[in-house]
Amino acid sequence: MTFGAQWTLRQSYFRVQHVTFVGFHHETPSELLAASGLAKHPSMINLSDATIKKNLSAFTWIGAVQVTKHWPNSVVVTVHESTAVAVAFTSTHVLEFVDRSGRALGVAPLKANVPTLEYVHPLSSAWPFSRAGRAAAFVASQLPRAFASQVSTVTVNSHGAVTIKLTTPVTFILGPTTNLEAKFVAIASVIAHSQLVPGDVVDVTVPDELAVTPPTHA
């Protein structure tokens, strides 16, 4: 590209004048425009996709960003938001939405229609679900439609062993997050074909060797 062409492309006609945001649900266009830096009308030739993506990463719901230039002066920013798969309480007892990676997305209503994540015997008050307790968020993201709506709680311990509790309440011990498909099939089969009672604990750590522990009564 010659010097003359570069100079021409930096004139006002080739600066960003029109911006369209697509795919957002939790932010306003004005918030996205201000945070992206596009409101400053940068030149199209110097427009940095990486900078725009970094700027918009400040919004917790935004997981990925795609920037498309339409010469001479228009930009379309497609936002891919994270999906809330569960909720969890912070150390200050604020309920937050959680995505499949365990990242907190923002304040959730107390009656959110997704499972609640719990971490057994936390050693600190730090948010565990994007680190040691990530397995709970992952399991919540993989729950099949057959019984996902019945799951009230997904619990994980420091060893990564996961337990889910249904609204009935019946508890299923999954153990590690390996062989999840077979474990879920076993759970669906037990729900459909067994006479479970509130308080039953079903161990599906080994899906082919189910073990049911009835509730203990004092």
Residue 31 · residue 55 · CB < 8 Å: no
Q: What is the DSSP string of 103-116?
A: -EEEE--TT-SSPE
Q: Would you list the domain boundaries of the chain?
A: 3-81, 86-213
Among 72, 129, 140, CA closest to 104:
129
At 39 the three-state DSSP class reads: helix
- Which pLDDT does position 4 carry in this prediction? 45
Domains 3-81 and 86-213 share a fold: no
CATH architecture of 86-213: 3-Layer(aba) Sandwich (3.40)
- Which pLDDT does position 217 carry in this prediction? 61
Q: What is the pLDDT along the chain (218 residues), one digit of tens a residue?
A: 444 455 565 678 899 999 999 999 999 999 999 999 999 999 999 999 999 999 999 999 999 999 999 999 999 999 999 999 999 999 999 999 999 999 999 999 999 999 999 999 877 778 999 999 999 999 999 999 999 999 999 999 999 999 999 999 999 999 999 999 999 999 999 999 988 999 999 999 999 998 899 887 65
Q: Between 3.30.70.1520, 3.40.50.410, 3.40.50.720, 3.10.20.310, what CATH number should domain 3-81 receive?
A: 3.10.20.310
